Structure 1
Amino acid sequence: MKKTIATHLQPLFTLVFVLTLSAFTFSCSGNKESGGDSSMIAGTTSKIWKADKETNAAGDKDKLTSAEKEEQIQFFANGNFTQTSSSQSANGTWTYDASTKTLSLTYANNNVSENFKVNELTKNDLKLQAPDGSTLELEAE
């Protein structure tokens, strides 16, 4: 069975979820090296992100299925998130630490928490790295 980033997002959730983030307030510089801030992830109220590309832990490209491309995650400025696919959804809370470039997701009702290194954060792109080294590139909707 193919191991994807989604297995890191919520081990108890049976379907693969793909993160997608969108930026609303971002300076025109688009500096990929800066840590950015939480408003780049959630905007002033909320933002939706969808998967664009992913690699496995070895760095090899993993092709996203059409179903995975339709999955999304919506980050709200109040610290909540909703993750949806065509058949399931999950929610919880999120935090972003710009100094360490760490995005943390905590799922409601099961206290599962996942941490991702943010390798890139721009107005329209977010590149996450899971603890196993696999990556997921997201685009703003």
Structure 2
Amino acid sequence: MKVIFESGTNRLLTFLLMTLLSIGSFSCGNKSNEGGNAQMISGSTSKVWKANKETNSVGDKEKLSKAEKQEQIQFFSNGNFTQTSATQSDNGTWTYDPQTKTLSLTYANNSVSENFSVTELDEDNLKLQAPDGSTLELEAQ
């Protein structure tokens, strides 16, 4: 999965997936099977995430380009998000369901919704899995 801004619905999905893959679930400092909570994603007001690792649908590591490493997504506690690169910006709304461990992003102006499985989540790391099996690990900034 590439984290470049592409035209259409894939541009935000790709970036979001890469952003969310790095958050791992932790309880008392140990990984757990609990789904975490939305505040782990957004912080008390907002939190910025950047991609640090990605894998393709068969689990092979993919190298992030210099431009991809500079892209970021900011989640706000009010349910909004902004995704930016050096040349573009996109925004919309997000929700997180800790029971199903699902992060949903809906982009403004095109009503496209992207859903990711959150496989790891903690205060500093978010790992997202796309429906095709590719993953994206993100680190909080």
TM-score scaled to structure 1, two decimals? Answer: 0.85
Query: 1:120 and 1:64 mapped to 2: Cα distance?
Result: 20
Query: 1:5 and 1:128 mapped to 2: Cα distance?
Result: 13
Higher RCO (CA 8 Å, separation ≥ 6 residues)? 2
Structure 1 residues without counterparts, runs of 5 or longer: none
> Which residue identity is paired with 1:11?
T
Contact kept in structure 2, 1:54 and 1:62, CA below 8 Å: yes
Alignment partner, residue 70 of structure 2: 70
1:63 CA displacement: 0.2
Q: Give the alignment of 1:50-69 within 5 angstroms.
A: 50-69=50-69
| Percent of aligned pairs with the same amino acid | 64
Q: RMSD of aligned C-alpha atoms?
A: 2.6
Q: Give the alignment of 1:1-141 within 5 angstroms.
A: 3-4=1-2, 11=9, 13=11, 17=15, 19-20=18-19, 28-141=28-141
> Which residue identity is paired with 1:20?
T
Q: What do residues 40-96 of structure 1 show as CA deviations (whole Å, max 9, x unaligned)? A: 000110000000100001111100001100000000000000000000000000000
TM-score scaled to structure 2, two decimals? Answer: 0.85
> Which residue identity is paired with 1:68?
E
Query: 1:12 and 1:120 mapped to 2: Cα distance?
Result: 22
Change over 3 Å in CA distance of 1:5–1:88 after alignment to 2: closer
SS class of match (2:31)? coil
Q: Give the total of aligned pairs.
A: 135
Change over 3 Å in CA distance of 1:30–1:124 after alignment to 2: farther
Structure 2 residues without counterparts, runs of 5 or longer: none
Query: 2:92 and 2:4 mapped to 1: Cα distance?
Result: 15
Change over 3 Å in CA distance of 1:56–1:37 after alignment to 2: same
Contact kept in structure 2, 1:56 and 1:134, CA below 8 Å: yes
> Which residue identity is paired with 1:50?
K
> Which structure has the highest helix share of the two?
2
Change over 3 Å in CA distance of 1:120–1:20 after alignment to 2: same
SS class of match (1:36)? coil
1:115 CA displacement: 0.1
